[in-house]
């Protein structure tokens, strides 16, 4: 099976002006693009660039600096998510990515909430996610809940395992609340990639690929990506595979590695 591919055009094509990256990704055979933040973008220009290039927009982050696990932030979180949903509909994006903790510059976890117990964090996340799922269903926008690595890029992040994310989305049971399974993050946090794909892949709404360690293109680290993709095919995954990676040398060389994969 050939999965439809998405290029994250924040780290990929960074040598080009942002709006030129849509056409560059399409020229390299990508079906979709995705990016990190929407608040710093001209949304009309983004929509026009995608339409001119004939490429879809997979999505972007929907929660910025707000946190699912802080019960005090629930109303503000949902208010910002409504704005993000409106932005997604404005540019024709398929999905939004959401996280347990608020993230700052470079993905830095803004607050680990050491003063809150895991019980409070879990209950707050569950209740807010239920409300998020209702908003997703009202608007026809997929939400993907992403666990992040805590070893390298996001120390202090609460949601760090495939199991916790997938059990949370299963409990809520919405067709528009799924898990973003980032192979790079999960290799660093837990390994057992194929075992976790088989156990929880029914909850996956989007896949991210980068090799580990380093977060570069496949073939630069320890992950055997042909087997990972075979496993995704075996479980019947039909969603997008997004390449959210930092080229080891140039975008052109990274794209060659993606095309070989």
Query: Nearest 5 degrees, angle CA 214-CA 197-CA 128?
Result: 90
Q: Which of 34, 167, 233, 244 is catalytic?
A: 244
CA distance 88 to 24: 22
CA dihedral (231, 5, 87, 68) positive or negative: positive
Q: Tell me if residue 10 is catalytic.
A: no
Tell me, yes or no, if 34 is annotated catalytic: no
Q: Residues 146, 167, 234, 253: which is the catalytic one? A: 146
Can you tell me the distance from the alpha carbon of 147 to that of 68, in angstroms, rounded to the nearest whole number?
12
Q: Beta strands of the chain (E only): which ranges?
A: 5-8, 32-34, 56-61, 95-98, 142-145, 177-182, 204-209, 241-243
* Sign (positive or negative) of CA dihedral 184, 64, 136, 34: negative
Rounded Cα gap, residues 165 and 3, in angstroms: 23
- Give me the residues paired with residue 179 across strands: 145, 204
Residues 6+ apart with CB under 8 A from 107: 148, 153, 154
CB contact at 8 A, 110 and 100:
no
Would you please indicate which residues are annotated as catalytic (active-site) residues?
Answer: 146, 244
């Amino acid at each position: 099976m050939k999965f439809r591919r998405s290029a994250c055009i924040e780290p990929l094509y960074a040598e080009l002006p942002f709006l030129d990256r849509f056409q560059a990704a399409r020229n390299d055979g990508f079906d979709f693009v995705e990016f990190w933040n929407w608040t710093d973008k001209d949304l009309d220009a983004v929509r026009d660039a995608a339409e001119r290039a004939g490429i879809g927009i997979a999505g972007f982050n929907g929660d910025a600096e707000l946190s699912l696990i802080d019960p005090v932030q629930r109303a503000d979180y949902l208010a910002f998510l409504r704005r993000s949903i409106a932005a997604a509909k404005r540019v024709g994006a398929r999905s939004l990515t959401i996280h347990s903790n608020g993230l700052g510059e470079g993905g830095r976890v803004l607050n680990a909430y050491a003063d809150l117990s895991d019980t409070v964090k879990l209950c707050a996340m569950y209740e807010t996610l239920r409300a998020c799922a209702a908003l997703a269903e009202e608007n026809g926008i997929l939400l993907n809940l992403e666990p992040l690595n805590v070893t390298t890029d996001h120390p202090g992040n609460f949601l760090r395992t495939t199991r916790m994310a997938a059990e949370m989305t299963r409990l809520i049971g919405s067709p528009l609340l799924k898990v973003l399974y980032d192979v790079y993050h999960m290799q660093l946090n837990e390994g057992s990639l194929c075992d976790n794909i088989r156990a929880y892949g029914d909850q996956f709404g989007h896949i991210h690929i980068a090799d580990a360690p380093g977060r570069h293109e496949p073939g630069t680290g320890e992950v055997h990506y042909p087997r990972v993709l075979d496993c995704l095919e075996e479980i019947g995954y039909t969603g997008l595979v997004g390449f959210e990676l930092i080229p080891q040398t140039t975008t052109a060389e990274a794209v060659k590695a993606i095309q070989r994969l």
